[in-house]
A and B are shown apart, each in its own frame.
Chain A
Amino acid sequence: MPALRVSELTMRFAGLDRPALAIPALTLDAGSQVAITGPSGSGKTTLLNLLTGLERASGGSVCWSATDLTALGESARDRWRAAHVGLVMQDFHLLPGLSAIDNVLLPQRLARLRLPQATRTEAERLLRRVGLERIEQTVDTLSRGQMQRVAVARALVAGPGIVVADEPTASLDADAGAAVADLLSGLARDTGATLIVASHDPLFVGRLDRVLRLEAGRIVQP
């Protein structure tokens, strides 16, 4: 499992004097579970985007084991992310009209055209593990809690070493949120994956090993 080493990371946006994000140093052990908290606009999503290679940093480096994301081009970052990162987002991003299992498998289908049978088996196992029995049901008819659980299964189906969730419980009620939080930390622990969750939700603070608090783009509580 890759460990993270961040140094001198900055992210600037056009028109802003101060960098939106500035992290002199941050390391995470492989397999650790971290919550990133902080008010809206404190740079949580920006940090996640940089850590997953969705965006390129203005300066500094983001190294996962031997891979420095800031040195990779966009397509290379896409490939690296597909191989190593499972993402869960606030708005599930499920495709209406497709079944739960097809939604779980869609990014894999669009990554390699031919789907290995093992991936399908793993998808079925994960869907049952997150508590979905009718995997051929289209996602349009699912509850919001069930939708996010499908999204969790999708994030884990390729066996990523890093699981990243951005406000995964923000649009769920308390019970459904707790179920999703349990699933995320439990499943990441099962596979030994590093888990990074950006969330306002106090749910995660007690569940995860470590809490980082961001304010105005700086880590204030390491």
Chain B
Amino acid sequence: MFRLIAADLRRQWLGAAAVALLIVLATALGVVVTLQERALRLGSARAAAAFDVVIGAPGSETQLVLSSVFLQAAPLPLLPGRVLAALLDDPKVAWAAPVGFGDFAGPYPIVGTTQSLVDGIGGLGAGSAFAKLGEAVVGAHVDRAIGETIQPMHGESHWPASLHHGVTYRVVGRLRPTGTPWDRAVLVPIEAVWRLHAHGANADEHDGRAAPGRAADAAPRPPRFEVPIDPAALTAPGAPGLPAIVVKPRTIADAYKLRRQWRTERSLAVFPGEVLTRLYGTLGDARTVLSLVAWGAQGLVLAAVLLVVVLHVLQRRRQIGALRAFGARREIIVLLVWLEAFAILAAGVVAGFAVGYGAARLLSAGLTATSGVALPVAFAGEDAASLAVLLAVGAVAAALPALLAYRQSPAAALRS
């Protein structure tokens, strides 16, 4: 019996392959949508995992999260310097670290912060922590070796940019891989960023990312960077403003208290996880639309495949009629037709899952390379369910041509 199916498929291999390919593509489309959306959700949730509470000046919550967690450069309003001092002094806070943006080293954002954040997002994988203002710790995927120097620039490399003349950072350490955009960041002491941008003089005019060129003009003499970090500078009464502060509360209850405490007219406190969930809500709608499109494509392909198989059965009417005339049992012929149709369908669906997985991996790899967010592509239990549903639909659909073969009268088939 299987030999008969094999002989038939061999004879029609081009048609069978074309039909299977259609099914592969339709299935892969659906699988990619599901896997990619899941990867995006898991990846961004993991990227935000180290950031329990983020505090910034009043403005857009989403932008605050995008800038602080995902390092998307955008001008943020500044918090007064005393907020950080208050947080560092708060017993509800395990650690709090400033996040200051402004410069780039090639494609890599330079982030001014403190050792607390370095430890908070995974710690050092090699080298040592920054101890002087002119020292930097690079993310795991930054293409700079320990010992190399980095020249900070205003703006990304492909923008008209200006160098901070005479100022360089020396790489002293490298972070462990985190699977977050911080893998592509250069971390330097926040004091260095302040000094470079001479915040003390004109803090009110500055936004989170200093206007290109201006700071360089304002500071014709390079600031002194060969001095140790001064922890007291963070809590000094005249400390400059900050675009964002990452806070690690001691307990969950503390987290809620902190958020309430800092949600004021002068400041904004958010749980990045919550903001992301809201974003997924929007993303979820998009996924529903994409899923419907994918399901629609699968339905269309199924209909096309059925048409082909039914035509094939009609074409073989005489053959099927003759087999019955010669003594074949019609139940077995039906089984044969069903098996052949189902074999093509099932092979297409299974291969479609494999192709979809591969495509999602490729897509994720491409996105990770540009964003730094690791996007884990993985099948979940629900995928097994949708595989089962697809196979079940295929099994039922394959029964249609089989039924057609069952109902044909052999005498009528032979007459045609």
Binding site for B on A (CB under 8 A): 45, 49, 52, 54-55, 74-75, 78-79, 81-83, 85, 87, 89, 93, 95-98, 102, 106-113, 154-155, 158
Instruction: Please give, as numbers and ranges, the residues of chain B lying within 8 Å of A54 by CB-CB distance.
Output: 325, 410-411, 414
B window 294-331: CB within 8 A of A: 318-319, 322-330
B411 in contact with A110 (CB, 8 Å): no
A93 in contact with B411 (CB, 8 Å): no
| Bound complex: CA A54 to CA B1 (Å) | 23
A113 in contact with B1 (CB, 8 Å): yes
Instruction: Please give, as numbers and ranges, the residues of chain A lying within 8 Å of B411 by CB-CB distance.
Output: 49, 54-55
Nearest neighbor of A52 in chain B, beta-carbon distance: B325
Instruction: Please give, as numbers and ranges, the residues of chain A lying within 8 Å of B323 by CB-CB distance.
Output: 93, 106-107, 110
Q: Is B8 an interface residue (CB 8 A)?
A: yes
B328 in contact with A97 (CB, 8 Å): no
Q: Contacts A49-B411, A89-B414, A111-B332; is A98 near B327 (CB within 8 Å)? A: no
Instruction: Please give, as numbers and ranges, the residues of chain B lying within 8 Å of A108 by CB-CB distance.
Output: 327
Q: Which of A52, A78, A89, A97 has a CB less than 8 Å from the CB of B322?
A: A89
Q: How far is the CB of A113 from chain B (nearest CB, A)?
A: 7
A97 in contact with B325 (CB, 8 Å): no
B4 in contact with A95 (CB, 8 Å): yes
Q: How far is the CB of A46 from chain B (nearest CB, A)?
A: 9
B326 in contact with A107 (CB, 8 Å): yes
Q: Is B158 an interface residue (CB 8 A)?
A: no
A-B CB contact pairs (8 Å), 28 listed: A52-B325, A54-B325, A54-B410, A54-B414, A75-B330, A78-B330, A81-B325, A81-B327, A83-B327, A85-B327, A93-B319, A93-B323, A95-B7, A97-B11, A98-B3, A98-B7, A106-B4, A107-B323, A107-B327, A108-B327, A109-B1, A109-B4, A110-B332, A110-B336, A112-B329, A113-B332, A154-B326, A155-B326
Nearest neighbor of B11 in chain A, beta-carbon distance: A97
Q: In which size bucket is the chain B interface?
A: 20 to 34
Q: Which of B10, B326, B328 has the most CB of A within 10 A?
A: B326
Closest 3 CB pairs of A and B: A82-B327, A110-B328, A93-B322
Instruction: Please give, as numbers and ranges, the residues of chain B lying within 8 Å of A93 by CB-CB distance.
Output: 318-319, 322-323, 326
Instruction: Please give, as numbers and ranges, the residues of chain A lying within 8 Å of B410 by CB-CB distance.
Output: 54
What's the dominant secondary structure at chain B's contact region?
helix
Q: Is B202 an interface residue (CB 8 A)?
A: no
Q: Contacts A54-B411, A98-B7; is A87 near B326 (CB within 8 Å)? A: yes
| Bound complex: CA A106 to CA B322 (Å) | 11
A107 in contact with B328 (CB, 8 Å): yes
| Bound complex: CA A26 to CA B17 (Å) | 54
| Bound complex: CA A93 to CA B317 (Å) | 12
Q: Is B251 an interface residue (CB 8 A)?
A: no
Instruction: Please give, as numbers and ranges, the residues of chain B lying within 8 Å of A109 by CB-CB distance.
Output: 1, 4
New contact pairs (9) apart from A97-B7, A107-B328, CB-CB < 8 Å: A45-B415, A49-B411, A83-B327, A93-B322, A95-B319, A97-B10, A98-B4, A106-B323, A111-B329
Q: Which of A81, A93, A102 has the most CB of B within 10 A?
A: A93
Q: How far is the CB of B412 from chain A (nearest CB, A)?
A: 8
| Bound complex: CA A192 to CA B333 (Å) | 31
A110 in contact with B1 (CB, 8 Å): yes
Q: Contacts A55-B411, A97-B11; is A87 near B325 (CB within 8 Å)? A: yes
Instruction: Please give, as numbers and ranges, the residues of chain A lying within 8 Å of B322 by CB-CB distance.
Output: 89, 93
B329 in contact with A78 (CB, 8 Å): yes
Q: How far is the CB of B333 from chain A (nearest CB, A)?
A: 6
